[in-house]
Structure 1
């Protein structure tokens, strides 16, 4: 039986949980090692595979746009298929954040980072997100986990949470003081020194600049023009209007629906608030229910594989998906929760009883 070394933050956990985490991590590592032995060519060309998926996904987005213009794909099919390609680019970005592709070739690595950002302009700057995401792994489930708290994890379900999942910018705008508090908590915990704190305080709020500003500005303009048209208004510059509709169908709307699917899954499958720091057993659950298939199709089965990633960061997304079934059996055997939808009523709390009194949001 293979055991993995405990990570530094896990040494303060209860002995039983720390040993359990090390056991799970070791077994998942063993599954991945056996998969690599069975598929040596794939395992030996990780950079090339990452680049191939990157290129294919971008070609898919451009191809969908061409088919839409040619009248082959209707608008709704263009939105859904393009959202799938964009979900692949999200996975590539996530792997890049963990330096899984072109680790020693910074030019190619950063070019890919720029590419996944340009085709997903609704998202945060990936270089800013790298710091947020690595911090997420360190403090998952706590107040300074800005990556998850920023997409409503830990908030009671209601109108604001739904609005935030449908439109991140409107969610932030509705509760600006909440976001200011979350950013402050993140900076206070993540900064290495006062100079780093000042830098984070500036770069983090600007993470959506400039692409997200352009994306959401065009999105709101598109919606506004269609509402104006619906009520009988006459729109000048019809050519520009049609061009805007083209951008909305081929890029803006696919990003909106993909983002909703990812944020809906991620914000609800992570636990928050009553988790022990660094205790991976309490950070996530696994989602496998069949009713989730439509949203999982547009976030590459995030709910089914992300818990694996919390235990072992090493594997790129396509390897996690390939070994998913065996790893899920390991997680289930060792008590990791599956399909705990009671979190919808518990504001992501790990405890199985609904929280009483006020819940901090």
Structure 2
């Protein structure tokens, strides 16, 4: 099965997955031979991290000193933070400094600091590796936590952009107090300490400005204490340089990821059914803050051990062979199906037809 030519009609799902993997891996090898610098994986990963951190700190400094508009800083830092998410994902798969614990863990810590809205990356490693084993099932806690499989509505919209709100809603839905307590304990464990501070500051920011807005509308301004105003000055700056960018990045990433993964009715271990490719032009404003995740992440399910920058370079070849083998592209019906691979009524009709036959 050389090149991208193979007849999917004569191949089962496992063979089609293997063919996609073979073609994409070959493209990665070819790129490294064509551009030898790509063989220096550790150095590239560290350099991208340095670039992202310098970018975030630099834009923050420009904003604080009055040389950059707040919205420009927020958007830039949202983009830079998306790079650190990709690096964390690669680190979870041990792609940088695999045999050197100090630089590896240093990178893990730094990407966490750049994205304080997220769970502890050392804990996420276990969740993510489990995601690859049980993708699309009830036990895929990583994707379930970001609303994969949830019916679309106001609750899902809230949960997509706010990690803590997602946990709160799940806790409220839990049927027993034991289940509620378990969700609370797990939330505190995985989000401590950075995410608890991040989302706590975000709620304070929203509450303070909402209160001021309401007070202004009814004509009774609130007389805040000097201490409160001093604290809010710090939180306002943080909202622009680190909190807001990560709220934006979180929403974009979770919207794309939770809708490109299928849930509930896929065959266990069938990679062909785990993901679709989301690369429609109207998604680009979202893709910009999750580093083209919808277009490239499906490739990762077939070829796990390629770093994100190689994956981006293999997109043209990867998409071609994936489309040939039957991977879905831009299946927006998933929004109405709560991310099921097939509509429930179609499944029922198929079973009825089989029974009649």
The bucket for the TM-score relative to the shorter chain is 0.7 to 0.9
Aligned position for 2:94: 99
The one of 9, 33, 39 aligned to 1:37:
33
Report SS of the residue matched to 1:66.
helix
Higher share in helix: 2
Conserved? CA contact 2:145–2:166, under 8 Å? no
Tell me the residue number matched to 1:23. 19
The equivalences for 1:210-225 within 5 A come to: 210-225=193-208
Distance 1:180 1:279, change over 3 A: farther
Q: Which residue of 2 aligns with 1:322?
A: 313
Using the size of structure 2 for normalisation, the TM-score is: 0.88
Answer yes or no: is the 8 Å Cα contact 1:150–1:179 preserved in 2.
no
| Alpha-carbon distance in 1 for matches of 2:156, 2:211 | 28
What are structure 2's unaligned runs of at least 5 residues? Answer: 4-9, 216-220, 349-357
Q: Which residue of 1 aligns with 2:322?
A: 331
Q: Which residue in 1 is equivalent to 2:234? A: 243
RMSD: 2.5
| Cα 1:59–1:207 shift into 2, 3 Å | same
Q: Give the structure 2 partner of residue 302 of structure 1.
A: 293
Residue deviations 1:44-94, cap 9 Å, x none? x10000000001101111011111012121111111110000000000000
Matching of residue 227 in structure 1 with residue 222 in structure 2: no
Alignment correspondent of 1:47: 42
SS of residue matched to 2:106: helix
CA contact (8 A) 1:2 1:30 kept: no
Distance 1:335 1:356, change over 3 A: closer
Identify the range of structure 1 (220-229 vs 143-152) with the bigger mean alpha-carbon deviation.
Answer: 220-229
The alignment status of 1:163 with 2:154, answered yes or no, reads no
Contact 2:161 2:251 in 1 (8 A): yes
CA distance in 1, matches of 2:286, 2:31: 27
> How far apart, in 1, do the equivalents of 2:63 and 2:109 lie?
25
Per the normalisation by structure 1, the TM-score is 0.87
Alpha-carbon separation, structure 2, partners of 1:24 and 1:356: 28
* Stretch moving more, 226-235 or 73-82: 226-235
Deviation (angstroms), 1:204: 7.2
| Contact in 2 for aligned 1:128/1:204 (Cα 8 Å) | no
8 A contact 2:167–2:187 mirrored in 1:
no
Aligned length: 331
Larger Rg: 2
